[in-house]
Amino acid sequence: MTFSAIDVVIVVAFYAAVLTLSLVKSRRHADAAGYFLGGRSLPWWLIGISIVAANISTEQFVGMAGQAAGDVGLAVSAWQLTGVVGIVIVAFTFMPRFLRAGIYTMPEYLEYRYSPAARALMSVLTVLVYVLVTTAAVLYSGATALATVFGVRMDIAVLVIAGLAALYTTWGGLLAAVWADLIQGTALLLGGLLTLALGLQAVGGIGPFLSANADRLHMVLPRSHPELPWTVLTGGIWIPIFYYCGLNQFIVQRALGARSLRQAQMGIVFAAALWLLVPFAIVMPGIVASQLFGAELPRPDAAYPTLVRELVPTGARGFLCAALAGAVISTLASVLNSASTILTMDVFRRHVRPDATQDSLVRVGRWSTVVFLAFGCVVALSPLPSGGVFAFIQEFQGYISPGILAAFLVGFVVPKAPPAAGVTAVALSAPVYGLLQWQMGDVAYLHRMLLTFVVLVAVMLAITRARPLAEARRLPVRADIDTTPSRPALAMGVAVIAAVIVFFVMFW
């Protein structure tokens, strides 16, 4: 791919706008609440766009489109569409509890509900997964896109992406990230839809696309499918969905920075509505790439970047490449800010220096971001993610997501569950899942996640029955926030869930 002068101007203008807006908007918030939660002042529309930008990155443009180009097809959309349902449920069940407690992080809630040990354990495991899995996967997928489109070396591409993300994340924290997301989130959705339009034009239109890919355009796959059999839709897929949408720091952190519960719920449901575009902006372009290039693709993960390289005309290339780069940088910035928030608030302030000043907390957050990036770069350049970045993320998150989800859900519905129950669930998640992976490697990993979750809930209930709390723990109550739920958000949430059902029926 060659760039014209106008392409270069678009890329430079795009990043000048992103950096200027993010740095200017974040310059007045220098304390911990400002750096890590945006001063708890985020409006709903900014929360919604930021959640979309944090979620949709080149791990989707590369990994999800790659699975669509492979043998999964349109069914890979189930991740995003069940996520629509999951995040709407989270908005009206999880978020009222979290905002009322005034927490900075998910592990912080576990301390209030169980014990400091539960908080510390979740903090360490979450940071490890964010740095060694999520950050590495985002860097790898972004570098893959740059290497495929521009022909640059993978190591150079990784370093460029890491440098750009570090520039505004270390400066302005969450507030810088969400304002950058406003531009980047909009661009990545528009860029994805533009790519689909160009792809459909190349294959002759919607009719030829539908007829040529009839076997790929199914949301429900056979029970024997190794990755997404239809049976996971009734159980296994909901474990990572509820973990990701409701307990994943870099998604929930945006809502924790809301002005009120109404703003948080409206923002979350707005994000759910925008997620409905993912099958069209990301998954279908992957199917188009397979139809057009087939065996020419060096690997499925190259599907989307190849489509961009081959089809995007001069003049639009700068916008598409800026959108792709913006996708990876916005997600990377979000993950890094969340990892540094957990390390700073749950480890450093809680166990190392409880009397740390606001300046010290911000400084630790900035330095930890740099260190996390360095580790992520090392893993991204290793062979680990090369087997398929989307599967890499989901498989490794399976080690922690069932235990964390079990600890929170049992904590919500069983008031007398003791501290030992929460600690045990988080601690046993990786060993139980690892054992199942070893003994049941040919079973879909989502089934293994569900079985792990069931085992851990059973263990928690057994511990509770043997040693229940004498009385339920009292959680903190934040007095300075309006926790009245949003009726318009509820109505909109019901509408987007109905849209998901319609999509499943149309492509059954």
Give the lowest-confidence range in 281-290, 317-326, 382-391, 444-453.
382-391
Residue 66 in domain? yes
In percent, the amount of the chain with pLDDT more than 90 equals 24
Residue span of the structural domain in which 189 resides: 7-108+131-390+483-506
- 487, with CB counted inside 10 A (0-12, 13-18, 19+), is exposed
Cα atoms found within 13 Å of the Cα of residue 270, Cβ hemisphere only: 21
Strongest mean pLDDT among 28-32, 212-216, 311-315 = 212-216
Question: Using one digit for the tens of pLDDT, what is the confidence trace for 18-51?
Answer: 777 766 766 655 555 555 555 567 788 888 888 8
Q: Do the domain assignments include residue 431?
A: no
Give mean pLDDT, residues 298-327. 75
Question: What is the DSSP secondary structure assignment for residue 211, as one 8-state letter?
Answer: H
Q: Tell me the pLDDT band of 271, cut-offs 50, 70 and 90.
A: very high
Indicate the pLDDT class of residue 323, thresholds 50, 70 and 90. confident
Does the residue 423 lie in any domain? no
Assigned domain for 459 exists: no
Q: In this predicted structure, which of 12-26, 122-136, 244-258 has the lowest mean pLDDT? A: 12-26
- The pLDDT of residue 403: 95
Three-state secondary-structure class, residue 42: strand
Q: What is the pLDDT of residue 58?
A: 63
- Model pLDDT for residues 399-446, shown as the tens digit of each residue: 899 999 999 999 999 999 999 999 999 999 999 999 998 888 778 788
CA–CA gap between residue 268 and residue 186 (Å, rounded): 16
- DSSP SS3 for 29: coil
pLDDT exceeds cutoff 90 at 90: yes
**Nearby residues of 176 by Cβ (< 8 Å), 6 or more positions away:** 22, 23, 25, 26, 168, 169, 333
Say yes or no to pLDDT of 77 above 80: yes
Sign of the torsion angle spanned by Cα atoms 135, 141, 144, 149 = negative
Q: Comparing 4-13, 108-117, 241-250, 256-265, which segment has the lowest mean pLDDT?
A: 4-13
Residue 304 has what pLDDT?
Answer: 80
pLDDT score at 422: 94
- Nearest by Cα to 193 from 100, 88, 56: 56
113 inside domain: no
Cα–chain center distance at 180: 16
453 domain residue, yes or no: no
Q: What percentage of the chain carries pLDDT values higher than 70?
A: 87
- Residue corresponding to tokens 């009726």: 487
Phi, psi of 428 (to 5 degrees): -85, -10
For residue 40, the model assigns a pLDDT of 67
| Average confidence (pLDDT) over 346-350 | 81
Look at residue 35 and tell me if it is in a domain: yes
Output the pLDDT for position 1.
52
More confident residue, 355 or 252: 252
Residue 391 predicted with pLDDT over 70: no
CATH number at residue 327: 1.20.1730.10
Q: What is the DSSP letter of 230?
A: G
Question: What CA–CA distances, in Å, run from 461 to 15, 103, 475?
Answer: 52, 26, 21
Judge contact between 337 and 169, C-beta under 8 A.
yes
Locus of tokens 């209930």: 461
Q: What is the pLDDT, as a whole number, of residue 481?
A: 79
Q: How many domains does the chain have?
A: 1
pLDDT digits (tens, 9 = 90+) for 162-183: 877 776 666 555 566 667 777 7
Kindly report the length of the chain.
508
For residue 5, CA distances in Å to 2, 17, 315, 423, 437 come to 10, 18, 9, 58, 52
pLDDT at 454 over 90: yes
Please give the pLDDT value at position 46: 83
Rg, Å, the chain Cα set: 22
With respect to residue 309, please indicate whether it lies within any of the assigned structural domains: yes
Mean pLDDT of 126-143: 81
Q: Closest Cα partner for 369 from 176, 102, 146? A: 176
**Residue 491 clears pLDDT 90, i.e. is over it:** yes
